[in-house]
Structure 1
Amino acid sequence: MSRDTREWAWEHSVSRGNARLVLLSIADRVPDEQCVAWASITSLMKRTNASRNAVRSALTALADSGELKVLGNLEGPQHSSVYRLPRAAAWLAKVTAARQADPDAYVEPPTKSDPVPELDEERLRKHGIWPKTGSESGPRRQNLTGSESDPSRQNLTPPRVGIRPPTGSEPDPQNRSEPKVNRRYSSSAATTLTSATDWEIDDESRSWAQEQGHLTRLGEQGLQGADAKWRQHRAAWNPRTTAAWAADWRTWIAREHNPTPGRPNLYALPGGTPAAKAGMTRAEAHTAALLAALDEPTGTE
C-alpha cells in the first residue's frame, strides 16, 4: 500500500524541497489504505539527510497545507510520532470505489473536497501503533517489535555534550582498513600511538598511491625519497595514531613534486662543485649558479 501512497505523493502532492522528502519518507512507511505511519524525527533526519530544524519545518509546512496530520493521541514504537496523510487516504478510497465495478475506469484527479475515510485505530495496533499510555481509549500498549524498528530515543546525548579529547590532543579517526603491521582490527588500535619513524606504509596507502597515479608520477625511487623526506620532517612530531600518520603521509605524497631528470643544479659552482659552500647566503648561491652556467661550454666557441 505504500506504493500507492508514494504514487499519490509523486503525482498529486504540492509539497516542495525538504517537505516533499519528508512526505515521501512517511509515505514509504504506510502499511494500508488508511495512510497512517509512525516515524521519529531522528529517522526522518537520516532518510532525508536534513537537519532537525529542517525536518520540523517541513512537518509544519505539510500540516499547514493539509497533506499531513499529526495524530497526537497515538504513538508508535519507541514513543515515535504517528502521522496520517488524509488526502492520500481520500484519494485511495476514491480510486477503490471507482474501480470496484470497472477495474479500468477513469478516476478524476483528487480534490480538496474528497471525503477522508474514518480512522480505525484498532487496525493500527497490528502495525505497532497504539493509543498513548494514559489515554482513555485502549489498554496499556505492549512492547511490540515490527519489521522495521526505529532507533531508541532514550538517553539521547544533549546538544554540544559528549566525549571530547583532552585539549591539544590529536583527533583519532577510525581506520578499519589498516594491516596487521599497524594493529589492524585491534581493540586498542584506536588509542595506540606511534611515531612517524616507526609508522610503516600499509597496503591501503600504497594502493592509494598507485590508484591516484602518484607511483607512476614519482616512480618507485621518487616515492621512497618522498617517504624519507616525510619521515625526516615528522621525526620531531608527537606520536599519533596509525590512521593519522597515514592521512598525513598521503597529503605529503600528493604535494610532492615530480623529479625532473637533467634539471640543472641551482647550487652548482664553477669547477663542478655540486652544492653550495657552507655559510653561503641564498643570494651568493644564486650568483654562483649563474657563473656556473656562464662557464659551461655552448659549442659555439
Structure 2
Amino acid sequence: MKPTIIQFMPLPDDLVSKLTDHFEVIEVDNLDQETVDKHNEVFQRAVGLIGSGGKVNEALLARMPALKVCSTVSAGYDSYDVQALTRHAAILTNTPGALTETVADAMMALVLCAARNIPAMDQWVKTGGWHTAPEQLPLAIDVHHKKMGIIGMGRIGLALAKRAHHGFGMEIIYNARKPHKNAEQEVNAHYASVDELLTQADFVCVVLPLTDETHHLISHAQFDQMKESAILINAGRGPVVDEEALIAALKAKKIYGAGLDVFEKEPLVGSSELTTLPNVVTLPHIGSATHETRYAMKRDGVQNLILGLQGSLTENIINPEALKA
C-alpha cells in the first residue's frame, strides 16, 4: 500500500499525477477542525501534507502522529509552528526560489507606480480629468538615478537591486544580517545600518520575513528619520511595518508615499485609511501571482514533498534539526 499524503490546495493534474505515482493522495478543502474531524483516520495515517493557507500548529500535529514532511507552497511560513513541527520530527519545506524574479518585478512596479502616481493618473484620465482640468495635472517624482535602500538582501532583495541599478541607474544601499558579497560585486551596493539607510534612501524597500525581531521594525521613530520625499515599499510581511505609524506619517506628509503588497491584517479591511489616502498604492498580496510562478511554486512544493519523504531533499528545509529528531 502506498503511503498517504494530504493535499489541501488545488494542484494541476500533471502535478497530482506525480504525487499519485508515489502516494495515496487525499484532497481536502482546508485544515479546519471540522475537516480534520471528518477525515480523522486519513489525518492519523498521513505522512505528508502539501498546500498553503492552512494553520499547522500543535493541535493539528497531535492529530497527525505519522507526519514526516509538511510542504508549503509559498516562501513564507508564518502560519506554521516550526518548533512544534521539529518536536514532532516533521520537516517543513518551502518554495522560495520559484518566486524571486516575479516578486522583484512587483516591487519595481510599486516603486514606479508610487513615484509616478500611476494608479491616480489612470483614474484621472478615465474620469475625465484630462479634458476638464488639464492644468491640474499633478507632477510626480523621478525614479532614475535615485538612491534605493533595501532592508533584507536575500534572493528577492538582490533581484530588485539588479533591476534598480542596471535598469534605472539607481545607487543601492542595503541592510542585512551580514554583508552580501554578491550585491556589492554585482550592483556596487553599500552596506548601511538601518538608521543610515532610512536617512539616505529615496526609496526604502522592505523584503523581510516576520520574526519577533522584525515585527514593527519600521514604526514612528523610523518614519521620522526618512526624507519627506521618500517612498516606502513593503512586499515582505505586513507586520514588519507599523501600519498606524505609516498612516500617521503619510497624513502628516513625513514621507511622500508608499507602495504596499502586504498588510498587518489580510485582506485589508475597507475601513483602513490606507484605502483612501491618495499617496498610497495598494496591491492584494499578489507579488507572486503570475501563471508561470504559481505553477512553478506548486511544482517545487510537490518535488519537495516527494524528495523529503524519500529522504533525499537537500534544500528548502526550514527546520533541518527535525531530521536529527
Q: Same fold (TM over 0.5)?
A: no
Q: TM-score, normalised by structure 1?
A: 0.18
- Between structures 1 and 2, the one with greater strand share: 2
More contact order relative to length (CA 8 Å, sep ≥ 6) = 2
Who wins on radius of gyration, i.e. which is larger?
Answer: 1
